[in-house]
Amino acid sequence: MYQFGAEEQQAVAAVLERGCLFRYMEGACEVDDFEAELAARMHVSHAVMTTSGTAALICGLGAVGVGPGDEVLIPSYGFVADVIAVLAVGAVPIVCDIDDSLMMNAADLEGRRTSRTRAVMPVHMNGFVADMAPIMAFAGKHGLAVVEDACQSIGATYRGREVGTIGDVGAFSFNQAKIITAGEGGALLTHDQGTFERAFILHDPSCNFEGRALSQLPFRGFPFRVNEVSGAIMRAQLRRLDAILGQLRANSARVHEALAAARPLRHIPVNDDGVCGNHLAYTFDSREEADELVRRIYKAQGFYAFQGIANGHSFFEWTILHERRGSHTSLGNPLAAPVAVQGPDDCAPSRDILERTVIVGFGTEVSDKQIEELVRVVSA
């Protein structure tokens, strides 16, 4: 997926020549500048760069006040990192069903809410976007925080706004499988000064000793501070974002048109046309039909395909929830209470949707020859 070139190499070389690898050293600027540039690009007031998307989610949850005894509503289709982030702040993930768009089903939220519910975490998967309007309305009605997991969808928009900027907090990931990358990394976005300061302390609780003047007093956080090399790479990557999105969206249109001509396929409903374009997704009447398409697509070079229950992306794979392994010790396990148990037989509507859905992925370079080969194997 990723695009690297001379700009990234020169950015890293400049950091090494300056000898300022630590973000708080005199002369260091890359992480600070990346945060400012990302915030400007996403039209928010604040950004905090972190060591991963998971770290950004952890800091976001903590910054909005989620902690022990709280519950967070998450969708059944995301990544296990969503579960890990909620557990990391001592809270309990409560898994909700998805709808045919593969995103959080807002209609399922009310039935999952309890007096302990503190936040909602919609997940924008595979470059698609969750239907944020009913989610935000639900959260507003009940006074809940909204933490957006936009780790797989940087640059996507919903009703003209960038995902990750609609809720109280948003999170991006920059690992090597993402649209822009430094190999690993992440970022947290927020409009609110207090939320920003709490997130900054959570990502680096020793920041007050490094000359960071914040109005809030320090507290225990996590070692999620990022070095200048990663910041330099991400500054170069951010400048590529719009061009990469343009390529992906153009490829998506070409691939979808070719597949539609090859055989009848039903694309999943999309909640907004402002998707990233790095994936297409098709739904079938049966799991067997979905299995067949996956097998066919894997014969075509330059493409990959998978069903929803794969690679740690579904509730049905999150055994740490089913078996209540919420911590490395029993004493600090948020899942110890029986009320928290959700077994693999729960969320049956989600299982049905995911088993019958095929996600098709591709990169920024898709040749006409590759598309011709894809059409051949799909229509054979």
The helix (H) or strand (E) run that includes residue 258 is helix 228-262
Nearest to 203 by CA among 95, 340, 57: 57
CA distances from 161 to 15, 32, 62, 157, 165 (A): 34, 24, 24, 5, 7
| Residue 137: per-residue pLDDT | 98
What does the DSSP assignment read for 19-57?
A: T--STTSTT--HHHHHHHHHHHHHT-SEEEEESSHHHHH
| Residue 212: per-residue pLDDT | 84
| Residue 1: per-residue pLDDT | 57
- Contacts (Cβ under 8 Å, ≥6 apart) of 143: none
| Residue 356: per-residue pLDDT | 97
Q: What domains can you pick out in the chain, each with its CATH number?
A: 6-238 (3.40.640.10), 241-310+350-379 (3.90.1150.10)
* One pLDDT digit (tens) per residue for the chain, 380 residues: 579 999 999 999 999 999 999 999 999 999 999 999 999 999 999 999 999 999 999 999 999 999 999 999 999 999 999 999 999 999 999 999 999 999 999 999 999 999 999 999 999 999 999 999 999 999 999 999 999 999 999 999 999 999 999 999 999 999 999 999 999 999 999 999 999 999 999 999 999 888 888 999 999 999 999 999 999 999 999 999 999 999 999 999 999 999 999 889 999 999 999 999 999 999 999 999 999 999 999 999 999 999 999 999 999 999 999 999 999 998 889 999 877 678 888 999 999 999 999 999 999 999 999 999 999 999 97
How far apart (Å, rounded) are the C-alpha atoms in residues 5 and 244?
13
How far apart (Å, rounded) are the C-alpha atoms in residues 377 and 380?
5
| Residue 284: per-residue pLDDT | 97
CB 181 within 8 A of CB 364: no
For residue 373, count other CB atoms closer than 10 A to its CB.
Answer: 16
What value does the CA radius of gyration of the chain take, rounded to a whole number of Å? 21
| Residue 213: per-residue pLDDT | 82
Record the tokens describing residue 8, joined without a space: 């990234």
How far apart (Å, rounded) are the C-alpha atoms in residues 261 and 305?
19
| Residue 42: per-residue pLDDT | 98
| Residue 375: per-residue pLDDT | 94
Amino acid type, 165: T
CA distances from 329 to 58, 61, 91, 191, 326 (A): 19, 22, 15, 36, 8
- Report the predicted TM-score, pTM, of the whole model to 2 decimal places: 0.97
CB 178 within 8 A of CB 46: no
| Residue 266: per-residue pLDDT | 97
Q: For the chain, what's the residue count?
A: 380
Torsion angle defined by CA atoms of residues 255, 257, 260 and 266, in that order, rounded to the nearest 10 degrees: 80
Nearest to 154 by CA among 179, 125, 175, 191: 179
Record the tokens describing residue 288, joined without a space: 């067997």
- Contacts (Cβ under 8 Å, ≥6 apart) of 287: 307, 355, 356
For residue 116, count other CB atoms closer than 10 A to its CB.
Answer: 14
Record the tokens describing residue 157, joined without a space: 């928009």
∠ CA 115-119-120, rounded to 5°: 115
Record the tokens describing residue 249, joined without a space: 């969206």
End-to-end CA distance of the chain: 28
